[in-house]
Amino acid sequence: MAITEAELKDLKAQQAVVSAVEEAAKEQVAPLESPIEPPPEEQETVTEGVTETPTATNGDNYAEVEELKNRLITKEGQVAVLEEELQQLKVELELVKSSQTEDPQVNGLKEKESIVTSLEEQLQTLRAKMEVESTADMEQLQSSLKERESQVASLEEELKQLREEQGKSANAESGSETEAEQPFECLEKDSQMLSLEEELQRLKEEMEQVRNKSNDLREKNWAAMEALTAAEKLNEERLAVAKGAQHVAEEALSSFQTEAQKALQKICPDVSLEAEQNNWLELLIQKAQATEIPQSQEVQQENLQPTDSEELLSKLGEAEESQKTLQAECEQYRTVLAETEGMLKDLQKSVEEEEHVWKLKIVEAEEQGQAALDQVKVLQQAAEDMKMNNESTDQLKEQVMLLEAQLEKQLESISFSQTYAEEVAQLKALLTKTQSRLETAQLEAQKQAKELSVVRQQLSETTEHVQSQEASESTQVQTQLVQVVNKLQTEEEMRQQLAVDFDQAQKCVTDLQTQMDQMKAAGDCSTGELKERLEKEKKLTKDLGQAATKLQQMLKATQEQLVKERDTVKTLQGQLVGKEEPEQSKEGTSV
């Protein structure tokens, strides 16, 4: 079929119209491309805003695309309109590509969310740990307070008994003691009682201070828990806001991509689109460019193009404004997340500092409690010593008074001669000296017995402690403990020997007293018999003095040996404490 000149003119006219429309569309679309592609330094913020464009604006753009598609179908050959539509599709492709850059930012939000979650878990763990430690420390403080109260009560009971015994002894001694000695001893005992009462009052004050510190620690612990709870609540609220913003951004991005795919699928149904395919828009453009559309439309459509371009410009302006709004919201969410992270770090730091101060205060309270316990033990030991001294003093005074009375009676009955009287006086002096030695030896023996019992107790405690830690004790410490046990057994044997010697000395005193009674009864005997008895008494007195000297020497040796054993026990206890301190430090580090 031949083409006439009229048809050629019509085709040329249509081509000229298409070219003019294409140039006009390019001029109108070119200024719109610049705000969509911001500078490199602002690319990240712009892409965030683009991904969160409202769905309504995109729906208007797609409605316009549908309208253009209908016009292209009804007016085949309008190549310029199709190219304009392709240019718009290119712009949308740039938008989709820029929206794909939002994925790292979404990942960044997810990472921040995971960091916030981990910080919450750390806060929960720290809170549980602080509750457990505070509960254990409070229980320990309460147990130590109860122990101190029981010790103070026992000490008060002992002081009460001591007062009663002191009153009884004062009443019993009032008839035998002189007026000069009685006030002095009463003043001494009163001063001791006052010192014990002052020490007891001081211990009570220290216990009250420990109670106050315990209450302060409990209040600070509650305050820290309340601060942690408030911080967790604030963190949860901000995290919920951030999650909501992230969810809105993801929904906007997903809806934009879905609607863009649907619209382009309607324009070019021949091109298959996949959900995971990134280059689907390039394939659509290539397919559209490869398709030839007949150019057989009228020139009347030229007047319609400026109106469509103005609508697109207004819609793109609205999209740009919504983009800026969403960008500002994203910046606000970033600021909120940064502030939340800073607050969590500051809170964690303050909690760690408070925990450190709290542990130092607990250690100080434990040290004060231990010092108070040591002082209570010292007071108990002093009370026991006073009690034993009072008993031994009463016994010795009774014996001395009895002997003095007997000697006075014998001196009154003996009036044979001046020589015999002098011998009796010397014998009395020697007997008094021997009696004083015996009293001193008895006191030393009692003191050694008490010290030996204390050393035994310390040794038994050390032995029990060593047996409880057999896994960590060394062979050298065991050997030293065995040696200490052997030495203590030797000291026990020596103490028994001293007791036997003391009994012998007491027997000598009894024999001497019997002989003196016999001398008193046989006052009318001859002078020879008196001399013989006097020689026997001298011999007995000499034997008694030798026994007392020997007893004092043995007591001195025992005392020196006991001092050595004390040093050995202290050394062993120091070694055990030195072993326990590294173990305690390791346990503290593991906690």
Helix, strand or coil for residue 473? coil
Query: For position 3, what pLDDT does the model report?
Result: 43
**H or E element: which one contains 528?**
helix 527-590
pLDDT digits (tens, 9 = 90+) for 343-399: 777 777 877 787 788 778 777 777 877 777 777 777 777 767 777 766 766 777 777
Residue 523, C-beta contacts closer than 8 angstroms, at least 6 positions apart: 413, 414, 416
Tokens of 484: 């200490």
Question: Phi/psi class of residue 295: alpha, beta or left (left: φ > 0; alpha: ψ in -120 to 50)?
Answer: beta
Please, which pLDDT band fits residue 530 given cuts at 50, 70 and 90? low
Most trustworthy range by pLDDT among 248-252, 290-294, 461-465: 248-252
**Residue 575 Cα distances to 388, 478, 578, 586, angstroms:** 33, 12, 5, 17
Q: pLDDT value at position 436?
A: 76
What are the structure tokens assigned to 474, written together?
């060394």
Q: Which one is predicted more confidently, 86 or 157?
A: 157
Q: Rounded to whole angstroms, how far apart are CA atoms 71 and 42?
A: 38
Bigger pLDDT: 371 or 584?
Answer: 371
**Tokens standing for residue 359:** 């542990």
Residue 305 confidence (pLDDT): 47
Domain coordinates of the chain in residue numbers? 5-101+244-344, 414-582
Q: For residues 431 and 442, give the distance between their C-alpha atoms in angstroms, rounded to a whole number.
A: 16
pLDDT band at 217 (very low <50, low <70, confident <90, very high): confident
At 315, the pLDDT band (50, 70, 90 cuts) reads low
Which tokens hold the place of 330?
Answer: 């994203």
Q: What is the pLDDT at residue 98? A: 59
pLDDT at 306 > cutoff 70: no
pLDDT of 172 above 50: yes
Higher per-residue pLDDT: 219 or 253: 219
* Closest CA relative to residue 460, chosen from 432, 478, 485: 485
Please, are residues 238 and 340 in contact by the beta-carbon 8 Å criterion? yes
Exposed (0-12), middle (13-18) or buried (19+): which is 264, by Cβ within 10 Å? buried
What count of other Cβ atoms lies within 10 Å of the Cβ of residue 281? Answer: 21
Mean of pLDDT values over 63-76: 57
Give the mean pLDDT of 423-430.
68
Helices 305-413 and 418-468 cross at an angle (nearest 10°) of 160
380 vs 29 pLDDT, higher one: 380
How high does pLDDT run on average in the chain? 65
Report CA-CA distances (Å) from 360 to 217, 354, 581: 11, 10, 17
For the residues 579-586, what does the mean pLDDT come to? 57
Residue 2 has pLDDT above 50, yes or no: no
What's the rounded mean pLDDT across residues 85-112? 58
pLDDT of residue 344: 72
Check: CB of residue 80 under 8 Å from CB of residue 302: no
Q: What is the largest CA-CA distance in the chain?
A: 194
What pTM does this model have?
Answer: 0.27
Q: Using the predicted structure, report yes or no on whether residue 89 has a pLDDT greater than 70.
A: no
Average pLDDT over residues 5-19: 58
In which band, very low, low, confident or very high, does the pLDDT at 193 lie, cut at 50, 70 and 90? confident
The pair of structure tokens assigned to 303 is: 């007047």
SS3 246: helix
What distance lies between CA 262 and its chain's CA centroid? 62
Residue 47 in this model has a pLDDT that exceeds 50: no
- Angle, helices 418-468 vs 527-590, to 10°: value is 20
User: Model confidence over 564-578: pLDDT tens digits?
Assistant: 777 777 777 677 666
Mention every residue, 6+ apart, whose C-beta is less than 8 A from residue 462: 481, 569, 572, 573, 576
Burial class, 441, CB count within 10 angstroms (exposed 0-12 / middle 13-18 / buried 19+): buried
- pLDDT on residue 56: 44
Ramachandran sector of residue 535 (left: φ over 0; alpha: ψ -120 to 50; beta: rest): alpha
Work out the average pLDDT over 488-502.
70
Q: What is the pLDDT of residues 103-116, one digit of tens each?
A: 555 555 566 666 66
Query: Which two structure tokens, joined as six digits, stand for 473?
Result: 């004790």
Tokens of 293: 């559309």
pLDDT at position 428 over 60: yes
- Is the pLDDT at 402 greater than 50, yes or no? yes
pLDDT for 121 equals: 74
Q: With 50 as the cut, is the pLDDT of residue 292 above it?
A: no
pLDDT higher than threshold 60 for residue 132: yes
Task: Note the pLDDT of residue 223.
Answer: 75
